[in-house]
Amino acid sequence: MKIKDTESLCFKCDKRLKAEIIEEGNKVYLKRMCIEHGENKTLLSTDARYYRGLMRFYDTLAHKRIKQSRYILLLTDKCNMECPICFYDDKSIAAMAVSDIDKIKEIIPNSELILFGREPTCKTDLPEIIKTLKKYQKNISLYTNGVLILTDGYLDILIKSGVTKIYLQFDGFSDDCYKDFRNKDLALQKRLILDKLRKKNMPTVLNMTIMRGINDIYIKDLVEYVANNTFIKGLNLIAYAHTGRGKDNFVQKSIMPDEVVDLLESQTQGLVNKRSVYLFQKLVYVYKLIFGQRHCPYLQYFWLVRQKSGYVSIDKYLNLESLGKVFDRYLDIHRSNRIAAGIYLFFVLPRHLLSYKTFCLAGEFLAVIVADLFKKPYVNVPESRLFQLVFNTACDCYNADFTIAANCHVGVIYKNQNDKLEILENDGLYLLRH
């Protein structure tokens, strides 16, 4: 059964092709035909109802006209590692200089910025770049493998320069996964990096790349670690993407975000369950629309709440079943009358939020709203009981759906080999081009 028409890529020659999203046996596939390389069918979801439900919200609420408010700055093509799965292995970019920052100053104040690389800490002028950015933006995030953080005094330099959050590449506590992913035994180094970040109480998000049969059995362990360490504000569970150097590697190990949700439900014995994650996405889509933020269906959020011992799911504080019905009705009204949908939500939603359990987290929820109103990333809020799980992947030659890639939730800024700054609103399209 065909769900929709789209465009995709041939996974061998990268030719742009007409494609279909189809449902077969409660699974969803992306199917396309290349004249040279034949037909290819890629699994997008193991749960057609889950996929259809989320795409219903995406197609109606995720408008392309929403201005991009989140950018990755690709500062350099240099790296101090040679990971076989690197998805930003682009040698066509030039190093960004301190003087380039002033050229993008119109974008900076109203955007969340993530300093990226390949490995941004390989730039000796990184502290100066951060200081220059701070003239326009208070919150600066850094995506890093963390290797240089082990150098005495380097983390202090980053903090003094103005870094407010670190996204740390962290694939697990076992050397086995690092041997496959990074060609090195890094487990001990990663623990030492975490110790340094903890001592400085540096707001941190862990980025865990996940592959089937390699480190997918350790997801629960990382969730528990995050719950017990309040300096860590979130865990990004990143299903491996076949881009860059990793395009042709580990093809049989690939996994999609909803499969990661299934794994976590099994490992936590239902403490985190797929039904709650699904319902929470309805809240996310409506929230993103209200606050003018782009959203991608390959990116699914969920909240967990720290307790004195361990954690519980957000559905212990929010009645997600009840809210799901409200948002379903909002969606139906929104299709014909957006103003009426807004009025409906204004009067109906408070009744479903007013409860003692919800009130217990009122301060946390308010912090989220204030953060979005003032463009201050919520994950920097100190000692938060809430922490965020993100189930996501990137667009690649296998899962590429150009109707999604053209509306990516993050943009990219880089300098090309002609020393010209490129500002793209869609990182998804950038990945598919490179």
Instruction: Give the per-residue pLDDT at 374.
Output: 61
Separation CA 61–CA 290 (nearest Å): 10
Q: How far apart are CA 136 and CA 130, in angstroms?
A: 10
Fill in the DSSP letter of residue 163: E
d(C-alpha 296, C-alpha 283), whole Å: 14
pLDDT at 84: 85
Whether 422 is covered by a domain: the verdict is no
C-alpha span between 236 and 354 (Å, rounded): 30
pLDDT score for 249: 67
Antiparallel, parallel or unpaired: β 204-210 and 163-169: parallel
> What burial letters (b/e) apply to 273-303, b meaning 16+ CB within 10 Å?
bbebbbbbbbbbbbbbbeeebbbbbbbbbbb
Backbone angles phi, psi at 67, to 5 degrees: -70, 140
pLDDT at res. 378 = 46
Q: Let me know if residue 421 belongs to a domain.
A: no
CA distance 15 to 126: 37
Structure tokens, 324? 């799901």
Q: Is residue 104 part of a domain?
A: yes
Q: Is 87 helix (H, G, I), strand (E, B) or coil?
A: coil
Q: Could you give the number of structural domains in the chain?
A: 1
Q: Is residue 306 part of a domain?
A: yes
Residue 260 lies in a domain: yes
The amino acid at 174: S
- Does 13 reside within a domain? no
Query: Which residue in 23, 53, 55, 62 sits closest to 334, CA to CA?
Result: 62
Residues 187/225, Cβ–Cβ less than 8 Å: no
Does residue 46 lie within any of the structural domains? Answer: no
Q: How do the pLDDT tens digits run along the chain, 434 residues long?
A: 899 999 998 888 888 999 999 999 999 999 999 999 998 888 899 999 999 999 999 999 986 678 888 888 999 989 999 888 887 766 678 899 999 988 888 777 777 889 998 899 999 999 999 999 988 888 899 999 999 999 999 999 999 999 999 999 999 998 888 988 898 899 999 999 999 999 999 999 999 999 888 899 999 999 999 999 999 999 999 988 777 666 666 667 788 899 999 999 999 999 999 999 999 999 999 998 988 888 888 899 999 999 988 999 999 999 999 999 999 999 999 999 999 999 999 999 998 888 878 888 878 877 777 776 665 554 455 567 899 999 998 888 888 888 888 788 888 898 888 888 888 877 666 665 65
Rounded to whole angstroms, the Cα distance separating 238 from 282 reads 21
Cα first-last separation, the chain? 32
In a domain, 339, yes or no: no
- Per residue in 81-121, pLDDT tens? 988 888 776 667 889 999 998 888 877 777 788 999 889 99
| Range(s) of the domain holding residue 288 | 70-319+377-393
| CB-based contact 211:365 (threshold 8 Å) | no
CA 202 – CA 244 distance, rounded (Å): 30
Distance CA 177, CA 209 (A): 10
Please tell me whether the overall predicted TM-score, pTM, comes out greater than 0.95 for this model.
no
CA distance 232 to 306: 12
CATH number at residue 113: 3.20.20.70
Helix (H, G, I), strand (E, B) or coil at 101: helix
Task: Report how far residue 288's alpha carbon sits from residue 333's, in angstroms, rounded to the nearest whole number.
Answer: 17
